[in-house]
Amino acid sequence: MENPTKKIVIIGAGTAGIMLSNKLVKHKLDVTVIDSSEVHYYQPGFLFLPFGKYNLDKLRRPLSKLINKKVTHLRDRVASINYSGNSLTTESGQEVGYDILVIATGTHIDASATQGLSGAGWRKNIFDFYTPDGAMALREALQNFTQGKLVVQIMDMPIKCPVAPLEFAFLADDYFRKRGLRDQIEIEYVTSLSGAFTKPVASSKLGHLLTDKNINIVADFYVEKVDPEARKLICYDGREVNYDLLVTIPVNAGADFLHNSEIANELGFVEVNHGSLQSTKYPNLFAIGDAADLPTSKAGSVAHFEVETLVENIMRSINGQPLEESFDGHSNCFVEAGGGKALLLDFNYQTEPLEGRFPFAMFGPMKLLNPSRINHLGKLAFRYIYWYMLLPGRKIPFIPNKMSIKGKKQPKIS
């Protein structure tokens, strides 16, 4: 299917925008991607930066090397969209028309959304690791932290990579053990969720791991405000948690131009049909990746599994055919567990993480839901798959877009 006359505009050249643009040009479409960034970061690597693994130069590449030369890259930021007029305006004042618009603006942390968070303690004893600067500043803080209470804390859901804070807690346990400091450092995991994770089965498994590592969990904790002088988190129900060093995942928000817009929810995530990724308001508007309001994880793997559905549906839309509702919410997440091991979670909208093997039901080699060395090596190797296969839009062999339940079984929860 070819149609050179239709103009597809993608806002955001992150994981989803790069993959999608590289796939769409293969269909000889006129594709423009708008993003002011010159570089792209491999965000899963941010997890390791605070612990001295990797340097930033291993995690970033110029966008010019990642986006196909046939794609027009407009270096600007989108300020507003005229949905009924099929055009948008950038921050520099350019007006850009489109036939089909895809929103791939991801999510970003908003520390200013919580009273006291971005005040006196920010980057002194309060840190994030969801940004390159935050992760590097935290590296130094961890090096200087030799005793006291480390709190790893999630403000509210949804956040991107909901397992990343847990992984951080597990790796912190490892890091301080190796430095012989673990007995002097208390680690507490404070979350707005009722357990360790969003899915009950995985939550139980991951909760046990926290206990095994002597990491206390404080659940259902919705922070009303942070008192940076007293170094306290204060919950809406009056509970308080003290910290010496706070590693927080602030509220994750959608792009500014989506806030209070007719196409997005109150957090600025675009409301789409869960199967087709088409906006519930405008038929020529789609969203992909973290920018979409979907009941699955905000993760690079999800963006990857969504891409096939979106390419197919853009072609169908151009050709006046009914859309496919083929995206099943598939998510596939490695969870670093410390000790050189990782778990692998595989789930979708309907199915909780199952036990078994991945990607081959009989041979694996990855083990689902249980820590193993091969999973950890898989997580590390994924950086290469990301740069050389995923972003260029190549098919990753044996990894199906839809979740397969072949050979998998429901685990027993205790």
Ligand X SMILES: Cc1cc2nc3c(=O)[nH]c(=O)nc-3n(C[C@H](O)[C@H](O)[C@H](O)COP(=O)(O)OP(=O)(O)OC[C@H]3O[C@@H](n4cnc5c(N)ncnc54)[C@H](O)[C@@H]3O)c2cc1C
Assess 197 for contact with ligand X (CB under 6 A): no
Assess 34 for contact with ligand X (CB under 6 A): yes
Assess 301 for contact with ligand X (CB under 6 A): yes
Query: SS3 string of the chain?
Result: CCCCCCEEEEECCCHHHHHHHHHHHHHCCEEEEECCCCEEECHHHHHCHHHCCCCHHHHEEEHHHHCCCCCEEECCCEEEEECCCCEEEECCCCEEECCEEEECCCCEEEHHHCECCCCCCECCCEECCCCHHHHHHHHHHHHHCCCEEEEEEECCCCCECCCHHHHHHHHHHHHHHHCCCHHHEEEEEECCCCCCCCCHHHHHHHHHHHHHCCEEEECCCCEEEEECCCCEEEECCCCEEECCEEEEECEEECCHHHCCCCCECCCCCEEECCCCCEECCCCCEEECHHHEECCCCECHHHHHHHHHHHHHHHHHHHCCCCCCCCCCCCEEEEEEEECCEEEEEEECCCCCCCEEEEEECCCEEEEECCCEHHHHHHHHHHHHHHHHHHCCCCCCCCCCCCCCCCCCECCCCC
Q: Which stretch binds ligand X (CB under 6 A): 31-39, 110-118, 205-213, 350-358?
A: 31-39
Assess 16 for contact with ligand X (CB under 6 A): yes
Assess 231 for contact with ligand X (CB under 6 A): no
Q: How far is the CB of 240 from ligand X (least distance, A)?
A: 27
Binding mask 368-407 for ligand X (x = CB under 6 A): ----------------------------------------
Restricting to residues 43-62, name those near ligand X by CB under 6 A. 43-44, 46-47
Q: Which stretch binds ligand X (CB under 6 A): 103-111, 215-223, 273-281, 351-359?
A: 103-111
Binding mask 156-195 for ligand X (x = CB under 6 A): ----xx--x-------------------------------
Kindly tell me which of 187 and 287 has the beta carbon lying closer to ligand X: 287
Select the residue interacting with ligand X from 17, 338, 364, 371 (CB under 6 A).
17
How far, in Å, CA of 369 to CA of 256, rounded?
37
Select the residue interacting with ligand X from 22, 86, 105, 248 (CB under 6 A).
105
Kindly tell me which of 161 and 185 has the beta carbon lying closer to ligand X: 161
Assess 305 for contact with ligand X (CB under 6 A): no
Kindly tell me which of 234 and 245 has the beta carbon lying closer to ligand X: 245
SS3 at position 282: coil
Select the residue interacting with ligand X from 6, 9, 10, 14 (CB under 6 A).
14
Of all residues in the shown chain, the one whose CB is closest to ligand X is 14
Q: How far is the CB of 170 from ligand X (least distance, A)?
A: 13
Restricting to residues 317-336, name those near ligand X by CB under 6 A. 333-334
Select the residue interacting with ligand X from 48, 51, 122, 130 (CB under 6 A).
130
How far, in Å, CA of 170 to CA of 355, rounded?
21
Assess 353 for contact with ligand X (CB under 6 A): no
Residues that bind ligand X (CB under 6 A): 11-17, 34-35, 37, 43-44, 46-47, 77-78, 104-106, 129-130, 160-161, 164, 255, 257, 289-291, 298-301, 303, 333-334
